[in-house]
Amino acid sequence: MRTLVFILLAILNFQVAVFAQETDEDKTERRSGLIYLKGEDSPYTGLVKEYFESGKVRVTKNVKNGLLDGTYAEYFENGKTKYQGSFTAGKLNGQFTMFYTNGQKEYSGSMANGKKQGKYFGWFENGQPSFEGTYKADKKHGAWAEWYVNGQKGMEGKYKKGNPVGNITYWDESGEKTSYKPSKKDEKLLKKIENMNNPK
């Protein structure tokens, strides 16, 4: 019994030691899509840090068997968080949030196997909401709304698998309202505009 306990403790200590590894980005390299320590034959497992020229931390990322896996964070040079999220086997997975330099949230959402999934929210630097909606399998799906920086609503409509459904309502910054049902040509144009304005 004692032998078994010692073996289990040894395995646990080995796993802790492996996952407790930490290195700098410039000591790693990518080979066939995997992260290795330079000169090593096995994919790296542990924490990797990137730095600004000032020496302050720019990125912290967890790696498992050569792939991003676990928490991932980016920072501004002032030390405030720029991005926080997580990966699973090299793909973005779970909740993430991006921030402005003043600490205000810029947008947040969730990823599933590298694709946008679930509720997404955006904010202007002054804290006012900029958009709110839902993604399903990387495409807009359900109710969506957008606002101007002054708080005036700018757009409201519904989507299904990335395509507008029914009427889309728009407002200008003064509050004047326009509502219409997009044509196929309009839908293509709207998609281009949305892809430019919304987070990937």
- Per residue in 61-103, pLDDT tens? 999 999 999 999 999 999 999 999 999 999 999 999 999 999 9
Q: Model confidence at 191, in pLDDT bands (50, 70, 90)?
A: low
Task: Kindly report the length of the chain.
Answer: 200
Q: What is the mean pLDDT of residues 6-35?
A: 72
Contacts of 59 (CB under 8 A, 6+ apart): 25, 48, 49, 50, 72, 73, 74, 75
Residue range 119-200 in CATH 3.40.50.300: no
Tens-digit pLDDT profile for residues 155-165:
999 999 998 89
Distance of alpha carbon 120 from alpha carbon 108, whole angstroms = 6
Q: Residue 17: what pLDDT?
A: 45
Q: What is the mean pLDDT of residues 113-117?
A: 94
Q: Model confidence at 176, in pLDDT bands (50, 70, 90)?
A: confident
Q: 13 pLDDT exceeds 60?
A: no
Residues of the chain with CATH 2.20.110.10: 119-200
Q: Model confidence at 15, in pLDDT bands (50, 70, 90)?
A: very low
Q: 172 pLDDT exceeds 60?
A: yes
